[in-house]
Amino acid sequence: MDVFEAIKTRLEIREFADKPVPREVVKEILEAARLSPSGLNSQHWRFILVEGADELKQLAEMSTSGKWVENAALAVIVLTSPKYPWHLFDAGRVATHMQLAAWNRSVGSRVYTGYDEKAMRGKYGVPQEYHIACVIGFGYPKHKIIGRKNRQPIEALAFSGKMGNPLKL
């Protein structure tokens, strides 16, 4: 898929089909993470792959805003090191890399950031030096993705030369 086409068509989904994601696609998603840029090329992110109905159910039970992950085919917990002031910027980049790589293979995804941190640290063995940046659930969409992104017009977001100046394109 053309990269811009992937950007245009990808919507975050919370309803997943009961269909496994092939191993090669899972590997590709993690490879996209590994290839993501990071500040100073510090590569401080770490990824925990969560798979299997029972494990995903337990992950969902620890969440306050991502209960839908129970029905995903897999999830990736993204950890970052707060030692680097830009660590959350890197988390955003790595999440986008994975999500676009997945969508390139028709696998949808959604991010969540609400969870019982203590429970997550205990279950997944996350040391204090790492921050739990987000969880991304992946799976084939249950429904065909139709619809448009709900986004502001570019004129409200981008300016020419100085904030507030109308955009000239």
Ligand X SMILES: Cc1cc2nc3c(=O)[nH]c(=O)nc-3n(C[C@H](O)[C@H](O)[C@H](O)COP(=O)(O)O)c2cc1C
Under the rule (CB under 6 A), what is the footprint of ligand X? 11-12, 14, 65-66, 110-114, 149-150
Which residue number, 128 or 152, has a Cβ lying nearer to ligand X? Answer: 152
Can you tell me the distance from the alpha carbon of 33 to that of 43, in angstroms, rounded to the nearest whole number? 10
Write out the H or E segment, with its range, that includes residue 4: helix 3-9
Which residue number, 22 or 82, has a Cβ lying nearer to ligand X? Answer: 82
Residue-by-residue DSSP string for 5-65? HHHHH------B-S-PPPHHHHHHHHHHHHT---GGG----EEEEEESHHHHHHHHHTBSS
Which residue number, 19 or 149, has a Cβ lying nearer to ligand X? Answer: 149
Can you tell me the distance from the alpha carbon of 45 to that of 132, in angstroms, rounded to the nearest whole number? 10
Q: How far is the CB of 95 from ligand X (least distance, A)?
A: 7
Q: Give me 26's structure tokens.
A: 């899972």
Q: How far is the CB of 97 from ligand X (least distance, A)?
A: 13
Q: Give me 155's structure tokens.
A: 């004129």
Which residue number, 46 or 93, has a Cβ lying nearer to ligand X? Answer: 93
Q: How far is the CB of 112 from ligand X (least distance, A)?
A: 4
Q: How far is the CB of 35 from ligand X (least distance, A)?
A: 20
Q: How far is the CB of 86 from ligand X (least distance, A)?
A: 15
Which residue number, 11 or 126, has a Cβ lying nearer to ligand X? Answer: 11
Q: How many helices (H) and strands (E) does the chain have?
A: 6, 4
Cβ–Cβ < 8 Å for 93, 114: no
